[in-house]
A and B are shown apart, each in its own frame.
Chain A
Amino acid sequence: MALKIVKGSIDRMFDKNLQDLVRGIRNHKEDEAKYISTCIDEIKQELKQDNIAVKANAVCKLTYLQMLGYDVSWAAFNIVEVMSSSKFTYKRIGYLAASQCFHESTDVIMLTTNQIRKDLSSPNQYDTGVALTGLSCFVTPDLARDLANDIMTLMSHTKPYIRKKAVLIMYKVFLKYPESLRPAFPRLKEKLEDPDPGVQSAAVNVICELARRNPKNYLSLAPLFFKLMTSSTNNWVLIKIIKLFGALTPLEPRLGKKLIEPLTNLIHSTSAMSLLYECVNTVIAVLISLSSGMPNHSASIQLCVQKLRILIEDSDQNLKYLGLLAMSKILKTHPKSVQSHKDLILQCLDDKDESIRLRALDLLYGMVSKKNLMEIVKKLMLHVDKAEGTTYRDELLTKIIDICSQSNYQYITNFEWYISILVELTRLEGTRHGHLIASQMLDVAIRVKAIRAFAVAQMATLLDNAHLLTGNTQRNGICEVLYAAAWICGEFSEHLENPMQTLEAMLRPKMATLPGHIQAVYVQNAAKLFATVLKGEEGNTDGTAAQEASQLMIDRLPLFVQSANLEVQERASCILQLVKYIQKLQQKDVEVAEEVDALFAGELNPVAPKAQKKVPVPEGLDLDAWINEPPSESESEDEQPKAIFAKEESKHSRPRHTEVDEKELARRREARKQEQANNPFYIKASPSSQKVYQEAPGVEHIPVVQIDLNVPLKVPGLPMSDQYVKMEEERRQKERAEKKKKEKKKRKEKRSGRGKKHDSAPESEEDITPAHMVDIVTEEMPEVGMPNALPSDDDERDPTDPHKALDIDLDRPLADSEKLPVRSHRATEAQKSPTDGETENATLQEPKKKSSKEKRDKKKDKERDRKKSKEEKKKKKHKHEDKEEDLLGGQADEPVLQSEETSQVAEPPTSSSTTAEVSDLDFWLSNAPVPSNTQEAATVAAAAPMPSVTAPDSEPDEPKDTEMEETKSSKHKKKKQKKEKEEKEKKKKKKHHHHHHHSDGAGEESVQNGTVEEEEPLPPMSNYCLLAENSYIKMVYDIQGNLQDGSQVVVSVIFENKCSSFLKSMEFNVLDSLNSKLQRPEGSGPHDGLVVPFQLPPGVSNEARFVFTVQSIVMPQKLKGTLTFIVKNEDDSTHEKLDFKLHFTCTSYLITTPCYSDAFAKLLESGDLKSSSIRLEGVNMPFHHLLARICFHHHFSVVERIDSCASMYSRSIQGHHVCLLVKTSAQTVSIDAKCDEPTLLGNVLDEIKQTFSQC
């Protein structure tokens, strides 16, 4: 047998293996393709053999050939064969090949499902690993669906190696099979706290990747990640988490506030640049989200900027690049802090590295001021000249224009300079931004009236030299500039010095090679020029010049009439006929100029894109109504109205719309409006239409700033922007001199003041007055082209984006229908295979069960132990103290009560868990004063040593009691049963009485508090009410729900030392009930008191917080407790105690939660809520006081208020919604309330009633 194998392998060793193939290819450099084709033939032969080793070798070679670009999909089936080999060596080769060349449309993939499942459950971890790795590359929706459950099982594998791979691949599974996300998420979340750092890192990785796409669904994980961030030391994990926080903060500014501190600490402490950089990045994101500009964050900005400067100054180009990248993010919100590093950024413009220059360019945008704009642009123009490669040059070009045109040309003081810059830019070769330059030219010429004469002169020169620009006739090429030039010359032709010459230039035959839309503008504007020429020649008796012009038109226009472009043709033939007619008139010596000129009369004013909206629609005009009946569907395409100047794009055949419904039309209309709004050329189409509307009031509302030109300039020929820089300098100097004079005068006048302040201060921004004003349509202009500042919402997302499907609410509890499909018996082999889904499930569940069983057992053991010890104690006590027996008997009524309560515990609806989780986050985020729950517990625990309990009077704990009661009764059954019953009854009465009395007292206290404050117009209110008081100490308390945990409330107690002695060793203890328990530090017994973590000198008060867990919140409760303390005088000290009763009202379980009226309405409509109502008579206070009281004392928020009627909302810590409708008339207040928990509602209403009962 062995011999046979050896023989086989000897045969095999003469096959080519991968190395041989590579070597062969290297040796056949001249005829590589031929050699490879022979190799492929060999491989095909090898694949036909039965020997799996031969096949594997062939597949291995194919993988290499695939890398060289050969299609190997024909061997897909053989790859599957190799994958299913039982040997790891071959399996690995197979999976590698599959991962390289399988994809969703590979049809053999569906054959692999069972094989992969088998491998996933292989006892060999590397078989599993290889399968997971392979699967991660070629998982399809089908595979994801079929294997999701298996992979989920692997997430709890014993080997971390498998766990981390399984966790990581889940992301791919989610992408392909979004339904798996919800069922798998809890386990994924669990893995965030996996003991193995690799698994943890993988889980963080996956969740970060998920959260990046749909951050809002993962906000509730913020506390967990926060914990990880503060505890993890793995930089990879930290970076991912910090990046994640960067994505979350825009959604939750409070999170940002919380993050700032730990992040700044990290920035200070870390030595890893990558971590530092990400921290800075996230701090920036936080600062952006908090953009309200809180003063105390300026330090953080400074820190960031400062660190970034260090990065930028670093010799490492990578750090420099990243520094600039991050800087540009700060720039958006805090431009001032970046501006101070202008020197550095300008320096980076000269860097040899293009990436860095590009980043520096981005920053320049925010660097410019009126003062330095010219200087910076000059520098950029130098770069433009030097730049090699059109990409960088184009980038420079757009940046120059961006910088200059930002915020309505805010920084341009001299528009002649800007026009000349634009003209210089036209000399760039091969740029793709002709359109951009053209639109700038048009914009400036239209909006800066004073510049028109200059602009026209420049444009005329451009037209004259058009041959220089026509080389590049591709779309968006520089020839687009001619469009602008022609239009400007035509429209403002009155400024032309020699219109005839320009007319000639525009009608050159060569122009017929320009793109159609430019020709169209040429033709139209030639007509305008013609009109101007005629007008200019009007006075002349001679008239030859005018006739020459007509002749020129008649000679040249036929060329355009023949144009293939419809637009050009139409215009040209129209104008040609017009000119022919004019010529006839001219020959009869008729004065025509005026009439011709009237064709183009009317001044053009800049109009905001939205101006049309301000024009009221005349009465009786329905813009949406059909003018003619809609044409048949097939023609609908042609019916689409076109812009007057047809754009080329519209000609590209659009996909045929078979259905054009109203909606679609509306959408298109909207899109077209948008397009026109953004199209600088569109404005041109409106002169005539504007005339029509001139009478309309809307247009006059648009404020137009008048122009003030104080530097008349005439520079003949092509402009040199540098000249303007100099001129501008001079102008500014002059201005400055004037200003100084004025200032001097002023200063003389008020010398006595704090005069010297402005003495030699550098020229400030405001000092530079622009030479021309821009016609600014102030109102709506900024909206033009403003990018969406916020990350795009779902609607805008690409519908094919796979991440859209993953936008899933993860907090909702899992429904049965959502469980991952467990594999059912389908294939025959599956029955044999040990990987059957059910067995797997069983194995999965078994350990769980076991563990829970174990736990339970342990618990039981503990309980048993406790019982025993107690029993013993009890016995002793029992023997010694007869009195206690009575008391114990008195407790007997409690268990009954408790059992009721526990039955209620089960009631809270499961849906509350979601809201509870959300509110967890709220609590976590809002607990600025109260440290987060765990922390608090820790602090309390730290503060509390565990001394022997100074037993609270004599009443022991309830749970104990029940046990004791039981044991006792079993022991003394026969003897004492009767007696006890009697005792119980007696005690009950006593107790009830006691309770009642006490609660009354407490109620009075709080109400009194209220009434005293009531007299003030807007009463300052306090929720603190008296807990207990004696001659030494006074305690007041307030109870707040803990949003983080639906079962916790925080009791804040203020201790006030009333005596002249020092109070110390205070211990706070409460008798727990089954329902409510004081949270004690771990390790302390259920009777131990909590040490109040401070001492009280005379007259001082301080606050301590205690956390209680409550189960049911629908009923108010009272807990008895005791405070023990030592009063220390100079000579002696005494032990004192003070009993109290904590009253947990139902109100204290409510948490003020804002609610929007629409959500509120939905809630009411939902019909899940039960209603109840009360009436309060004789309430004598203003309605807003009443509301304020309910809000303050009962933790409600006002949803909506209309006159004397208001809707209010609150939510319990367990997520019950409580809605109130409060109405008042005369002195009667009626409150209609709805809540999903009637008992809770009843109690809350009672409490509200009590609050007002004294008014």
Chain B
Amino acid sequence: MIKAILIFNNHGKPRLSKFYEHYNEDTEQQIIRETFHLVSKRDENVCNFLEGGLLIGGLDYKLIYRHYATLYFVFCVDSSESELGILDLIQVFVETLDKCFENVCELDLIFHVDKVHHILAEMVMGGMVLETNMNEIITQVDAQNKMEKSEAGIAGAPARAVSAVKNMNLPEMPKNINIGDISIK
């Protein structure tokens, strides 16, 4: 089981938090902070597994994370998940984001956290891995987006135009999340 999925940036700002077990908001923030603290002090080329983390932890749990450019993707899982499997899953997740956002960067996650949630929902459901096949995930996400568009129809057009205008003066785009050479094990 996956207990939580967290994405935060190099400064510990949460970009996505998905808890599959209920905590109140304060505890959630504390968990994010603590996890950031644990993960951020690790060197670049050490292993991606981490035991401990008192709040979310327990003996059976592990933090499995990956660091891409400015973002940390952290999964908190118990012993029923394969460690390397989850690393793969993170990779699949990031690659899927990359496909869906076309060269994903932190800003995409900042402004479209809802979409990230929707993509994640196609991969992990209630703490269990639902789908690992990227093409399947993208197909389902696309189909749903298409539905959304068709529902917006004519009424959505002006809103889209306005948001396009609003987006024109976005701050300079930071570099992409480099999903490069991390080979899938």
Contact = CB atoms under 8 A, between A and B. Distances in A.
B126 A126 contact: no
Given A318-B47, A320-B47, 17 more contacts: A26-B110, A69-B26, A70-B25, A87-B151, A88-B151, A93-B114, A100-B18, A133-B126, A136-B126, A168-B130, A201-B132, A208-B80, A236-B85, A272-B185, A317-B46, A318-B87, A355-B46
A797 interface: no
B69 interface: no
Contact of B126 (A10, A12, A168, A274): A168
Nearest to A236: B132
A126 B84 contact: no
Interface in A88-115: 88-89, 92-93, 96, 100, 103-104
B165 to A, nearest CB: 10
Given A273-B84, A277-B82, A69 B25 contact: yes
B102 to A, nearest CB: 17
Interface string A1222-1246: 0000000000000000000000000
B55 interface: no
Contacts of A358: 51
A243 B147 contact: no
A22 B80 contact: no
Given A22-B111, A71-B25, A198-B133, A243 B47 contact: no
Nearest to B33: A69
Contacts of A18: 111-114
Interface string A141-169: 00000000000000000000100110011
Nearest to B51: A355
17 contacts: A18-B114, A23-B111, A63-B114, A69-B29, A88-B151, A89-B152, A92-B148, A161-B140, A198-B133, A209-B128, A236-B85, A277-B83, A317-B47, A318-B47, A321-B47, A352-B46, A358-B51
B53 to A, nearest CB: 12
A67 B14 contact: yes
Residue from B52, B112, B148, B171 whose CB has the most chain A CB atoms within 10 Å: B148
Interface residues of A, number: 80
A617 interface: no
Given A322-B83, A352-B46, A96 B158 contact: no
B16 interface: yes
Contacts of B162: 13
Contacts of B159: 9, 12-13, 17
A936 to B, nearest CB: 34
Given A165-B130, A168-B128, A274-B82, A67 B113 contact: yes
A1221 B88 CA distance: 61
Size bracket of the B interface: 35 or more
A564 interface: no
A108 to B, nearest CB: 15
Contacts of A320: 47
Contacts of A2: 154
Contacts of A985: none
B184 to A, nearest CB: 9
A450 to B, nearest CB: 40
Interface in B93-108: none
A56 to B, nearest CB: 11
A137 interface: yes
A316 B185 CA distance: 11
A273 B185 contact: yes
A318 B85 CA distance: 12
B185 to A, nearest CB: 4
Nearest to B46: A353
Nearest to A198: B131
B125 A132 contact: yes
A88 B25 contact: no
A20 interface: yes
B46 A209 contact: no
B113 A64 contact: yes
A17 B82 contact: no
Nearest to B83: A322
Given A165-B125, A318-B48, A358-B51, A66 B25 contact: yes
A19 interface: yes
Given A89-B148, A355-B47, A6 B111 contact: no
A5 interface: yes
A172 interface: yes
- State the majority secondary structure of interface residues on A: helix
Contacts of B17: 67
B22 A274 contact: no
Given A71-B25, A274-B84, A278-B82, A6 B144 contact: no
A19 B162 CA distance: 12
Nearest to B152: A89
Nearest to A19: B111
A400 interface: no
B25 A353 contact: no
A171 interface: yes
Nearest to B159: A13
Nearest to A125: B143
Chain A to chain B: the 3 pairs with minimum beta-carbon distance, closest first: A136-B126, A274-B84, A317-B47
Contacts of A172: 126
A5 B155 CA distance: 6
A782 interface: no
Given A22-B110, A169-B125, A274 B185 contact: yes
A206 interface: yes
Interface in B128-145: 128-133, 136, 140, 143-144
B80 A5 contact: no
Contact of A137 (B20, B43, B82): B20
A92 B112 CA distance: 14
Contacts of B25: 66, 69-71
Report which residue of A2, A168, A202 has the largest number of chain B beta carbons within 10 angstroms of its beta carbon: A168
Given A60-B114, A136-B126, A318 B121 contact: no
Contacts of B132: 201, 236
Contact of B49 (A22, A235, A355): A355
Contacts of B158: 6, 9-10, 13
B175 interface: no
A249 interface: no
A205 interface: yes
Contacts of B133: 198
A89 B156 CA distance: 11
B158 to A, nearest CB: 6
A473 to B, nearest CB: 24
A187 interface: no
A1247 B132 CA distance: 60
A8 B159 CA distance: 10
Interface in B10-46: 14, 16-18, 20, 22, 24-26, 28-29, 42-43, 45-46
A355 B62 CA distance: 11
A1233 to B, nearest CB: 48
Contacts of A23: 111, 166
Given A19-B167, A89-B148, A321-B49, A239 B82 contact: yes
B177 interface: no
Nearest to A60: B114
B148 A88 contact: yes
A9 B113 contact: no
B179 interface: no
Interface in A211-268: 212, 235-236, 239, 243
A96 B152 CA distance: 19
A208 B81 CA distance: 10
Interface string A115-126: 000000000101
Given A69-B26, A239-B85, A164 B185 contact: no
B3 to A, nearest CB: 12
A238 B14 CA distance: 34
Contacts of A164: 130-131
Contacts of B151: 87-89
B155 A277 contact: no
Nearest to B162: A13
Contacts of A277: 82-84
